[in-house]
Amino acid sequence: MVAMSKIATGNGHGENSPYFDGWKAYETNPFHPTERPEGVIQMGLAENQLCFNLIKNWLIKHPEASLCTPQGVNKFKETALFQDYHGMPEFRQAVAKFMGKVRGDRVKFDPDRIVMSGGATGAHEMVAFCLADPGEAFLVPTPYYPGFDRDLKWRTGVELVPVNCESCNNFKITRNALEAAYVKVQEANLRVKGLLITNPSNPLGTVLDRDTLKSMVRFINDKNIHLIGDEIYASTVFMEPEFVSISEIIEEEDVECNRDLIHIVYSLSKDMGFPGFRVGIVYSYNDSVVSCARKMSSFGLVSSQTQHLIASMLSDDEFVDNFITESKELLFNRHKYFTWSLSQVGIGCLKGNAGLFIWMDLRKLLKEETFAAEMELWRVITNEVKLNVSPGSSFHCQEPGWFRVCFANMDDYTMKVALLRIRTFMLKNNEAMVPLKLCRPSSLKLSLSRSLSRRMDDFMSPGIMSPHSPLPQSPLVRART
């Protein structure tokens, strides 16, 4: 056999993680309401599918935004030809403006600091290449997104060192935890180059408060290390407290900070629901990082056709304002419906107000408080309950028994099938409850039959309605209107 590189033959991608194993189980036997009603339901994909009707309606009204329509074909040639890797000016301007709107227009972003990449994956790797050499380290509070082990480590050779956070204080990031991790890295003779935070948090579905953000800025300033703020879920905050960006913190008078140390990773994959468009953004306050990242961006540019469409869409202020409001409302309703349903079968969750997932607490179902017991429970959920949920250990959680469950990547019917499966599973652990039977759909139509609707009405509290039924507005949306 011809020898291959260490990167090619190594396990740096992390594909053997349970996080990816659950995806394989789904891909082998994906749920379909009629063709595979016993298939695995995908609850491991953090994807926002609740707003596509809003996008569809805008596209119908603006066919000129697509180059593949009679109305847009006149711009095909100029868009299809070579584009500077700085990105189209109108694209950068539209994205910068959208980033400001998502943050309540409390801060403005400079289009000249917008560097595009192939999704947040490419953006994170780009930042790692700019800031660290192989063998140097970034601190990352736990639990954190499993893909970081691939995105930041695999090809760059940098190390990620967990900052252990605990459930006893709702996984709050403390200065003591940061200092302990910093000392641990130094004892291992590694150089710390930065702190990576995710705000809103994946997988917790929570936001960092202003005091915690200030504490982290003081920490990185004292240590003279970089701060990378992953803010790709910024517009998914559907309840108070509001999202506070690191870009707001460094503007405050009582915060002393070297801005050359501050960098933001953003994308449209979560906030707009466009993961397939691969629109990633690096926004740095460091001129040298902007310059270097822009050169590196040639390895993962956003297609000019996508830039043209995104620029057109995000330049429509009325659409953007409506989209942000409606998206929050839909996420609020779905989250409320989902978490209440889980509570009725004795499942608790970390209190969250953001993201496309919940952090589900199944510690009481473990045979023992070990990660081996967590994996045993995860295999039952995957192979018998037929749900792809992600075990906390794959997120480097230090306490066994937590699972991330995504709720926004499916239609109403699939969600209710998943909830019924969870209920049936819990009944095996509580014989006092009576399981409900599912009435399967007779066609590909995903609307609920009257029979199933009645069954679900019995299952749900009278006070909790369908995610698309009229509900009191979320406190955050209500405060803005």
Q: Which residue has the tokens 């409320």?
A: 336
Q: pTM value?
A: 0.85
Task: Tell me: cis bond preceding 200? Omega within 30 of 0 counts.
Answer: yes
CA distance 202 to 120: 13
Residues sharing a CB contact under 8 Å with residue 273, sequence separation 6 or more, in sequence order: 47, 48, 49, 50, 51, 52, 55
Query: What local confidence, expressed as pLDDT, does residue 309 receive?
Result: 86
Query: Side-chain half-sphere of 254: how many Cα atoms within 13 Å?
Result: 5
Taking alpha carbons only, the member of 220, 156, 230 closest to residue 192 is 220
What's the rounded Cα separation, in Å, for the pair 196 and 464? Answer: 38
DSSP-derived secondary structure letter, 153: I
Please state which architecture CATH assigns to domain 67-316. Answer: 3-Layer(aba) Sandwich (3.40)
Helix-strand-coil percent breakdown of the chain, rounded to 5?
A: 45, 15, 40
At 80 the pLDDT is 64
Helical H segments across 270-390, by residue range: 287-296, 304-314, 317-343, 371-383
- Positions annotated as catalytic residues are 145, 230, 232, 270
Residue in 361, 432, 343 with CA at minimum distance from that of residue 402: 361
pLDDT tens digits, 4-52? 888 887 777 767 777 778 878 889 999 999 999 999 999 999 999 999 8
- 3-state SS of 34-57? CCECCCEEECCCCCCCCCHHHHHH
Please say whether the structural domain 18-52+321-430 has been given the CATH code 3.30.70.100. no
- Each residue's pLDDT tens digit in the chain (481 positions)? 678 888 887 777 767 777 778 878 889 999 999 999 999 999 999 999 999 889 889 888 887 777 667 676 677 666 666 667 678 899 899 999 999 999 999 999 999 999 999 888 899 999 999 999 999 999 999 999 999 998 888 889 999 999 999 999 999 999 999 999 999 999 999 999 999 999 999 999 999 999 999 999 999 999 999 999 999 999 999 999 999 999 999 999 888 999 999 999 999 988 877 877 788 899 999 999 999 999 888 788 887 788 888 898 999 999 999 999 999 999 999 999 999 999 999 999 999 999 999 999 999 999 999 999 999 999 999 999 999 999 999 999 999 999 999 999 999 999 999 999 999 999 887 753 333 344 444 333 333 333 334 334 443 333 333 333 333 344 444 444 3
Kindly list the distances between the CA atom of residue 178 and the CA atoms of 133, 141, 163, 193, 307, in Å, as whole numbers in the listed order: 21, 8, 6, 13, 39
Q: Residue 461: its pLDDT value, please?
A: 38
Task: Locate 105 and state its tokens.
Answer: 């227009």
Where do the domains of the chain lie?
18-52+321-430, 67-316
C-beta pairs of 65-74 under 8 Å, 24+ apart in sequence: 65/308, 65/309, 65/312, 65/313, 66/309, 67/305, 67/308
**pLDDT of res. 72:** 63
Q: Is 114 exposed, middle or buried (0-12, 13-18, 19+ CB in 10 A)?
A: buried
pLDDT of residue 77: 62
CA torsion sign, 280 to 283 to 284 to 289?
Answer: positive
Q: What pLDDT, on the 0 to 100 scale, is given for residue 302?
A: 80
CB of 423 closer than 8 Å to CB of 345: yes
